[in-house]
Amino acid sequence: MKQFTIPFTYRSPLISRIKEKRKESDKMKKDFTPTRLDFGPLEIYLARHFGFCYGVENAIEIAFRTIDENEGKRIFLLSEMIHNPTVNQDLQKRGVRFLQDTLGNTLIPLDELTKDDIVIIPAFGTTLHMEKVLLEKGISVEKYNTTCPFVEKVWNRSEQIASKGYSLVIHGKPKHEETRATFSHAAYHAPAIVINDMSEAIQLGDFIAGKMGLSDFIRIFEGRCSEGFDPTKDLKKIGVVNQTTMLASDTQAIADYLKIIMIEVFGSAHESVSDFFADTRDTLCYATNDNQSAVYGLLEQEADLAIVVGGYNSSNTSHLVELCEEKLSTYYIDHPDRLIDSKMISHFDFHHGIKKETSDYLPKTEKVKILMTSGASCPDAMVEEIIMKLTRFYGITDWQNSVKISPALD
């Protein structure tokens, strides 16, 4: 896989060595057991896969190269580059300005842009409408486009199945930048609808099966359908694609459920399931799958608590938190400073969208065991800083020389 040039401050020499060693010994990615860092009174178990993915490193490389190569020019980002506050703040310190917030609200009017300005498209991609606006202003949308290749893969797959007459059901968070972009591209080629979760898939299935009336459908899915969407006609032949950072198991469960409904309703009139339901398993992102599978492997280890690191508006990180919460106390933090001291931690409750402080989060036991992972937009250096801070709470100052790592690095 391509090696990207990103700021060295985002790298961790130790974590890079760990990842490289695990990669060498497990080229087929079949081993999801964590890496154990034994500091004596403290043990930290690092997930087999975590941190920057291909799409994020690609976006960061393009963004910082764009800054270096265009001194004196005004440089804008459509919205946050990725969902990590440290990376976005670093870009702003270099003079990059955001045109929109993550919900698409205007921060800088597009009327202020000129053809001499540079606009970077973030890793989530953007809508066809926004591309058209930029092109009409004479601004390139290709040269500074950091859209993740795996997001584009979903768009391409959507176009392929749309060409065969399927309508598109998009599993994603309706307000997320990536979902808005995917919906725009999908709706250009076929009727499209966005559903958020399994409960909405069941409601969609109820309409397909004739258990829900049109007025209820319109009320539930208002603003989620492409222009001219007619559910009485457009839900007779469908395919399910996804926002790439959703739980892979959730997307598959939704697709499996809707497939069953479609077979029950339309199966007797067709020779093959493919006549009315498209196979779209190939739209799931490899990094999302790897990180989530690694958490399942991580959770097989007995521990006292879990720490998940990532931006608080990061979809993929929130799903890692969700998985960990099913087994043990889990703290979602976006910076080492959230570890206030050994007795207090500031963390995020993404279910209610609030920040909380919890005391006595570290148990008073002879040996404390912590599970740790991070989202796809979190720098490894931040994970290292958190490890360093935790070790200091236990009186360990020279942590790199005192740690015992398993599997060993030599």
Q: What percent of the chain has pLDDT over 70?
A: 99
pLDDT at position 295: 97
Tell me the two tokens of residue 109: 């009017």
pLDDT at position 99: 96
pTM, two decimals, is 0.91
The C-alpha R_g of the chain, in whole angstroms, comes to 23
CA nearest 29: which of 344, 287, 315? Answer: 287
Q: Which of 57, 80, 177, 178 is catalytic?
A: 178
Task: Give 369-391 pLDDT, tens digit per residue.
Answer: 999 999 999 999 999 999 999 99
Residues 6+ apart with CB under 8 A from 110: 99, 133, 137
**CA dist., res. 53 & res. 65, Å (int):** 18
pLDDT at position 82: 83
Whether the CB-CB separation of 148 and 157 falls below 8 Å is answered with: no
CA nearest 123: which of 219, 7, 245, 39? Answer: 245
Whether 384 sits among the annotated catalytic residues: the reply is no
Q: Which amino acid is at 46?
A: L
357-376 residues labelled b (16+ CB within 10 A) or e (exposed):
eeeebbeeeeebbbbbbbbb
Regions in the chain scoring below 70 on pLDDT = 1, 282
Residues 6+ apart with CB under 8 A from 368: 41, 42, 43, 304, 362, 394
The CA-to-CA distance between both ends of the chain, in Å, stands at 23
CA angle 227, 230, 234 (to 5 degrees): 105
pLDDT at position 280: 83
- The tally of CA atoms less than 13 A away on the side-chain side of residue 187 is 21
CA nearest 88: which of 321, 314, 322, 286? Answer: 314
| DSSP symbols for 360-374 | S-S--SSSEEEEEEE
127-156 residues labelled b (16+ CB within 10 A) or e (exposed):
beebbebbeeeebebeebbbbbebbbbbbe
Instruction: Give me the domains of the chain, ranges plus CATH numbers.
Output: 8-52+287-406 (3.40.1010.20), 54-136 (3.40.50.11270), 150-284 (3.40.1010.20)
**CA dist., res. 4 & res. 134, Å (int):** 28
CA nearest 376: which of 150, 185, 66? Answer: 150
Task: Give 142-173 pLDDT, tens digit per residue.
Answer: 999 999 999 999 999 999 999 999 999 999 99
pLDDT at position 1: 61
pLDDT at position 3: 79
pLDDT at position 194: 98
CA nearest 342: which of 5, 41, 1, 35? Answer: 41
Helix (H) or strand (E) holding 170: strand 167-171
**CA dist., res. 304 & res. 290, Å (int):** 24
Q: Which residues pair with 44 in a beta bridge?
A: 37, 370
Output DSSP code: residue 110.
Answer: G
**CA dist., res. 172 & res. 189, Å (int):** 18
The total number of residues written for the chain in this structure: 410
